[in-house]
Structure 1
């Protein structure tokens, strides 16, 4: 079954009905058990997703993050939490950080996600740079300019074929790995972003959404 915007209706309904806190700052925490990562819904296709740090299975812990480039809380997560995760846990090899692009918030995030994936297929480093660009300059993007701004940034900052990425970003639907994220997110009850799933020693610890702090991650993973 093809789900174009899994969770988008729930997200927009929450915004319209006064449920902004669910996306804009409240921390939703999932139940804790000891099921293996291999048996968890988010494990499907995990090896195909952009990863920083060791490969999944080669580090003490794994963080799987569902994120939308148009999501304000995702931008805050990347500003306040991710840099410390990278410097203190990912770069030293303690944590594998896996990002599952999950476009469910604003419409421009869909084109941005297609651009991110087309960039990832060409240059993984450029993918992470473009993601940071979306989050850092998020207020500048809209459905009307996301293709122009993306092409301009890729041309100026990378050696990626920016025109080819633009063409992919303008297409309908999603590439298979992104569509898989939408299906996996539905199976794992992901209805907002960012949502992170935390695993240690191959076993599930917990999940959280909203304002996920560095301290929450390290406490849940006992790091």
Structure 2
């Protein structure tokens, strides 16, 4: 990809304001191969009061309603983040198969433009896609992670339009038009504000709730074992 992490803009919806840095070509704040807990588990927050719960019902979700689910997993991801791609390849399939499909957990994705500059227009395209078709959103998200090396700021929306046109039923041109016009600014800002309020400084950052109560969080290469142990599932 042509973009470099060093070119990350500190003005991206304000998320990088306040001293958050970019580490090499990886994802900001990653914590190593086994994932790391950012919290002690003593936070008394609930899903209703925690910052990541803000406007949660409007976010892309797999599985049961978080309001009634035994467990809720909220993941902040950047489509340009290599560690997010690894998380989606190694951990998310197990989450879907063993926790989401049986109805034990809800998996919610929120976005944060932290790594390569092309991630921001991609996030706008994701929001525009989700507004039209949830299944197409998940397909596009997977496409970004699978083909990260093919994207840069110059081609991301053209490649997005081609993928949506060929692989989904959404109006691809309309998605790109919304992404370019700022029509999705409010939706993007909702996630950015939640990330700021929750002190998200790297992706993926995963927040774990059991029976509506906050358990812990982890950033980096979060393992499935970490998730199940923290949630006691």
1:15 CA displacement: 2.9
Q: Does 1:161 align with 2:171?
A: yes
Query: Unpaired segments of 5 or more residues in structure 2?
Result: 1-10
1:23-62 to structure 2, matched below 5 A, reads 23=30, 25=32, 27-29=35-37, 30-33=39-42, 34-62=44-72
1:190-205 to structure 2, matched below 5 A, reads 190-205=200-215
| 1:218 corresponds to | 228
1:29-178 to structure 2, matched below 5 A, reads 29=37, 30-33=39-42, 34-172=44-182, 174-178=184-188
1:37 CA displacement: 1.6
Q: Does 1:15 align with 2:17?
A: no
Is contact 1:36-1:204 (8 Å) kept?
yes
Q: How big is each residue's C-alpha offset from its partner over 1:26-77, in whole Å with a ceiling of 9 and x where there is no partner? A: 5331221243221111111111100100011221100001000001100000
Is contact 1:101-1:181 (8 Å) kept?
yes
Distance 2:14 2:148 in 1: 20
Within the candidate set 195, 216, 222, 1:206 is matched to: 216
1:7 CA displacement: 2.8
1:212 CA displacement: 0.2
Aligned residues: 219
Q: How big is each residue's C-alpha offset from its partner over 1:148-179, in whole Å with a ceiling of 9 and x where there is no partner? A: 11000000001100001111222348532220
